Structure 1
């Protein structure tokens, strides 16, 4: 077969659009697929200068510099469509005599991408609605101590029993309180959170109980509803109760004993119809012994104590926590970003003194500055690496890598033990250790973790579960470290 003779027939048989220009940018050929895809007949283009039809066309760049453009993505204004194109210069005796371009219309793909993005947003909204209906979904855990806390909270939620939530700052005490409220018979009534530190002693009664009109100079016309009245029928969440003064404690005790309250300047006794949930980061038993917290109030509030473990004791939950927090950020910023599993290797080496609140802060900073569709190690703030390095220095010097903070075993202990063995401590004179240098150490740590988890796991599936990563990432790491 004479290919030269049938060359135009071959071009006409292609499903992709073809356009050819000469050295003066004159359009000399378009095939049937071009007309079919873009609705432009040959007589409207052939003979015209491309620079007049589409002044900023990438094809003109190829004509100027003689360099091909492969898989080039652009928006063609004259067509009103997005296209992918392969543009190749035609060379004769070392001179560019024209350009042949094969184009694919991807407008349909763009439409499908938009639809997919809309579906993802709808899915995120539905997930958020699900979390609102069952707040305990956000609290699911792989760690026994956290599982016990969630299980107890689920059991007491349908009752009106007073709950005392204890734990370090930032562990998620308000999330627990909200979950209990959402699972209670009072779910359709208000949930009113109150930070006891924010209310001065002198304003406590007027803020908590409200006041009647004319009760004092400058009082609001018609009086004011207090926080208890706003929470009527629902749940009153009293956060940081360990910070209350003894005088405020006495006033709260009286209300809880009488199940009623009076507004400032009034004589009417209003019934107390609220469920009380309290929270503190203090050891209230010690506060009672020290005389800083009333014993009778302590027993009123400590009906169902629930202790929430700190994040450093449940690092196995990091993947789930990160996913939940990123879901919220997607809704907040209307931006669809996924999480690269590589960040868990870094996060697991940090003790998170600020707990879930600190994790949320770091993720939000990463989310806002992320230029890609994935949150990666490169997006982690430099300040975090400084804290991580400082923490590892302190822990190695105090010799607690394998003791105090590795109690939970599992992946938490594995990461910490590996970090200690791979030399996370800075060498002398390297206080300004670079991100890249730290990354090398982290990779060494990750390899050591994989080796240990593989030794201690009966199956690959068990190892994947312990590591808290996807199957794809698991096998990629095995290949990278030669552990397959």
Structure 2
């Protein structure tokens, strides 16, 4: 030390040292300096808050010891020693904080590694926020996807699609809706072919145009050409004096749906084929060639391939129609759709007629076991009938038409005169459970079909001793 008038003062060397210390501790970041053995030589005061240790307790200790004690992990020092370059990664503290740690090698004039300086930033909140945002994005995408599926597949104008088979039908319908390709809808009477046709039309780029449905089986053969293509005035006896625009012409710019196409006579099949191929036609009694711009959909409950083999349906027309076939499964093969359909149409008709109605549990069980030979159309008609004819808010077994009450087992087996309603309903419930047990492998599947919880299914199976 040197002396002065005011007393002693520190050497320049000591003064520089103090300045470095002051700078180090003024920084708000966690800064830690070690030698090549991992011994901590210097730490900033900000380190205390991050590692929950006094800085003086860390100086002189090995980073390897601190890692073993769980103060932080993984270690940065050995990685910098090995790579001899700047390294950055995320480190975790004993309290679970996430630190973005950067280690920098310090070399002497001979390029020997002598120190490792590391600094870190607490990024716990940042990482949590990132995870939260990622989770939110995933959740939003999931919800968006579910809403889109529900919008397009679950309740679309009364069409229910909870079973895989029906979801595939509507998914395919959505795919072909965007393209003006001919679609042939196949399935039993009443499965909802016309609903699918309207669904395709609404999802197509022709949805602003008309949807013209032609029931080929309802128009007499002798009148078909005049009804379909229209006619000029005075074309035949009884014709409108002003003539008539045909159904084909009305479909201009929209969708032409030929329902029950399998019912057409061979003579009319020839006319339809020519019309589909050329999209041109003459009105009956007319000489002006007219053009038509439409998207063609057709439907039938007949096996057209067999009809082609039998010679009752033209092969060339079949191939022209059958570009994209879509087969709609019957309701009996869509058991998981029955309860949603019942709920949908019960509410629909309750609102339509302003007669709030609900179904008794026993009624639901009976309807679940019904064969539904008339498919969705039969279900719709039944719901409308029950809403209109039932005098009470709760629709009970007695409100069902007789043949529905027999669908589980014959009414006589209930011994209605000798047994209470509760006993009769228990018998119905047992029959329904036996029927479901035979059709489905697991109680989870049974619960989904029956619309009750899985524990309830298990409890009822035990109650009735069903194997």
The corresponding residue for 1:257 is 277
The corresponding residue for 2:197 is 177
Equivalent residue runs for 1:231-250 within 5 Å: 231-250=251-270
The corresponding residue for 1:445 is 431
Over 3 Å counting, the alpha-carbon distance change for 1:430 and 1:148 in structure 2 is same
1:451 deviates by 7.7
Q: Is 1:306 paired with 2:326?
A: yes
1:430 deviates by 8.6
Distance in 1 (CA, whole Å) between partners of 2:441 and 2:243 is 69
Q: Is 1:466 paired with 2:452?
A: no
Over 3 Å counting, the alpha-carbon distance change for 1:222 and 1:449 in structure 2 is closer
Q: Is 1:223 paired with 2:205?
A: no
Distance in 2 (CA, whole Å) between partners of 1:374 and 1:275 is 45
Q: Is the 8 A contact 1:213 1:221 kept in 2?
A: yes
Distance in 2 (CA, whole Å) between partners of 1:255 and 1:322 is 41
Equivalent residue runs for 1:428-443 within 5 Å: 439-443=425-429
Equivalent residue runs for 1:247-396 within 5 Å: 247-386=267-406, 388=407
Q: TM-score, normalised by structure 1?
A: 0.58
The corresponding residue for 1:35 is none
Q: Is the 8 A contact 2:153 2:159 kept in 1?
A: no
Distance in 1 (CA, whole Å) between partners of 2:398 and 2:229 is 51
The corresponding residue for 2:187 is 167
The corresponding residue for 1:75 is none
Equivalent residue runs for 1:85-234 within 5 Å: 136=156, 138-234=158-254
Over 3 Å counting, the alpha-carbon distance change for 1:470 and 1:221 in structure 2 is same
Over 3 Å counting, the alpha-carbon distance change for 1:235 and 1:465 in structure 2 is farther
Distance in 2 (CA, whole Å) between partners of 1:306 and 1:345 is 31
Q: Is the 8 A contact 2:436 2:446 kept in 1?
A: no
Q: CA RMSD in A?
A: 3.6
Over 3 Å counting, the alpha-carbon distance change for 1:453 and 1:257 in structure 2 is closer
Distance in 2 (CA, whole Å) between partners of 1:245 and 1:447 is 47
Q: Is the 8 A contact 1:341 1:470 kept in 2?
A: no
Q: Is the 8 A contact 1:366 1:381 kept in 2?
A: no
Distance in 2 (CA, whole Å) between partners of 1:247 and 1:433 is 63
1:188 deviates by 1.8
Distance in 2 (CA, whole Å) between partners of 1:298 and 1:134 is 31
Distance in 2 (CA, whole Å) between partners of 1:289 and 1:479 is 51
1:374 deviates by 3.0
What is the CA deviation profile of residues 24-46 of structure 1, one whole-angstrom value per residue up to 9, with x for unaligned ones? xxxxxxxxxxxxxxxxxxxxxxx
Greater shift in the superposed pair: 438-447 or 179-188? 438-447
1:176 deviates by 0.8
Give 5+ residue unaligned stretches, structure 2. Answer: 1-149
Q: Is the 8 A contact 2:153 2:167 kept in 1?
A: no
1:448 deviates by 4.5
Over 3 Å counting, the alpha-carbon distance change for 1:467 and 1:133 in structure 2 is closer
Q: Is the 8 A contact 1:193 1:239 kept in 2?
A: yes
Over 3 Å counting, the alpha-carbon distance change for 1:365 and 1:224 in structure 2 is same
1:272 deviates by 1.6
Q: Is the 8 A contact 2:266 2:312 kept in 1?
A: yes
Q: Is the 8 A contact 2:367 2:404 kept in 1?
A: no
Distance in 1 (CA, whole Å) between partners of 2:448 and 2:258 is 37
Over 3 Å counting, the alpha-carbon distance change for 1:181 and 1:206 in structure 2 is same
What is the CA deviation profile of residues 315-370 of structure 1, one whole-angstrom value per residue up to 9, with x for unaligned ones? 11101111221232123312222334443311121211111111122222211122
Structure showing greater Rg:
2
The corresponding residue for 2:129 is none
What is the CA deviation profile of residues 432-481 of structure 1, one whole-angstrom value per residue up to 9, with x for unaligned ones? 99995864431222454788899934xxxx4685234255x975994897
Between the two proteins, the alignment pairs up a number of residues equal to 314
Q: TM-score, normalised by structure 2?
A: 0.60
Distance in 1 (CA, whole Å) between partners of 2:371 and 2:460 is 29
Which secondary structure state, in structure 1, belongs to the residue aligned with residue 297 of structure 2?
Answer: strand
Greater shift in the superposed pair: 361-370 or 172-181? 361-370
Distance in 2 (CA, whole Å) between partners of 1:297 and 1:463 is 43
